[in-house]
Amino acid sequence: MSFSYFRNKPKLRKAVEFSIKLVILLLLFATLYWQIAKRDDISQVINAIAFSFGQNLYLILLVFALMFVNWGIEALKWKLLINRAEPLSFAKSYLAVFCGATLTLFTPNRIGEYGGRFIFLKDPLRSETIQATILGSIAQIWVTILAGLIGFFWWISSGQEYSILSQVLFYSILVAAIAILTFLYFRLDLIAAFLGKITWLAKYQSKWLKLIDFSIKELSTVLVLAGVRYGVYAVQFLLLLYAFDVDVSVTHGLALIATFFLFQSSVPTIAIIDLGVRGNLALFVFAGYTTQIEQVVVSSFSLWLINLVIPAILGYLVILSTKLFKS
């Protein structure tokens, strides 16, 4: 990250860098403490994880390996988007997303993700880099909504008997919703035009318009990568359900997971309360389909531990060894 103010003040730069890294460490430690050590059921969770390690170690190791695939796909997606503004190697992109994971853990709605990634950019405040990162998030949210709608429609209709007319109406609404969302993703100019009509957002219209400066091929590639990453994430959750002996079929499991992800993405939260939200959502979504809710909650906790906490710790090690301010 470039910051010319520190160019001729090396001592001040080092002091500020040390302070920032120390604050990040303290926030990371505080978050993990509140999420793990302060859990009332932490002993039961640890026992369940230890038992699963003994019985289904291969599944846990597979989920752990898929974590690197998951973040590797995100790194590739971000690299493809950011290259237009500033060329970045895949290795640096990979390190950047881990740094983003560190700040994500204790910031509202994952906004720290951007700050962590920008450490590796020469001009992090350049509008194109910010908008490219936003577009990557939009693609990921789009996939979560699309898959979630399919899972949600299955969730509310499972076990119910409907007339042919009701089923036709039901699936017509689903197909229409998916078609509209897909159309809007490839026509971001319509969204930009709409935002431009809102008084307090009108001054940012030129910035919104830059989001549409991507070809159909580029948008499609980003959406495919977002879809693959979502699929990896869902498979990780499913494998953890099996690792903790939750009795659910692949089809039902993936539908429930898609619904869970949809609800989770719609709840504004920060990591300090995220696990509590996850536990309540797991109870809400899975309760009608399995009595093994405790194992579902432990699976959700393990997914958070593997996919967010471990990358966050790795990301902090990267931050620790990186100069935050470059001349």
pLDDT at 8: 64
Count structural domains, the chain: 1
pTM value is: 0.84
Q: Tell me 2's DSSP state.
A: B
How many other C-beta atoms lie within 10 A of the C-beta of residue 318? 18
Its sign, for the CA torsion 6, 9, 10, 14, is negative
pLDDT at 210: 57
pLDDT at 11: 76
pLDDT at 224: 95
Nearest to 82, CA basis, from 136, 121, 132: 132
Cα–Cα distance for residue pair 263/284, rounded to 1 Å: 10
Cα–Cα distance for residue pair 39/191, rounded to 1 Å: 42
Residue 133 identity: T
pLDDT at 71: 96
Which tokens go with 204?
């940012």
CA of residue 15 relative to chain centroid, distance: 32
Nearest to 310, CA basis, from 9, 74, 63, 130: 63
Which tokens go with 175?
């197909």
65 found inside a domain: yes
pLDDT at 49: 77
Q: What is the DSSP string of 188-230?
A: HHHHHHHHHTSGGGGGGHHHHHHTT-S-HHHHHHHHHHHHHHH
325 found inside a domain: no
146 found inside a domain: yes
| Per-residue pLDDT tens digits for 21-43 | 899 899 888 888 877 776 666 67
Cα–Cα distance for residue pair 163/27, rounded to 1 Å: 54
Confirm if 230 and 222 have CB atoms less than 8 A apart: no
> Domain of 246?
4-320
327 found inside a domain: no
pLDDT at 39: 66
Confirm if 238 and 131 have CB atoms less than 8 A apart: no
213 found inside a domain: yes
pLDDT at 242: 93
Q: Which residues of the chain have pLDDT under 50?
A: 2
Nearest to 12, CA basis, from 324, 319, 321: 324
84 found inside a domain: yes
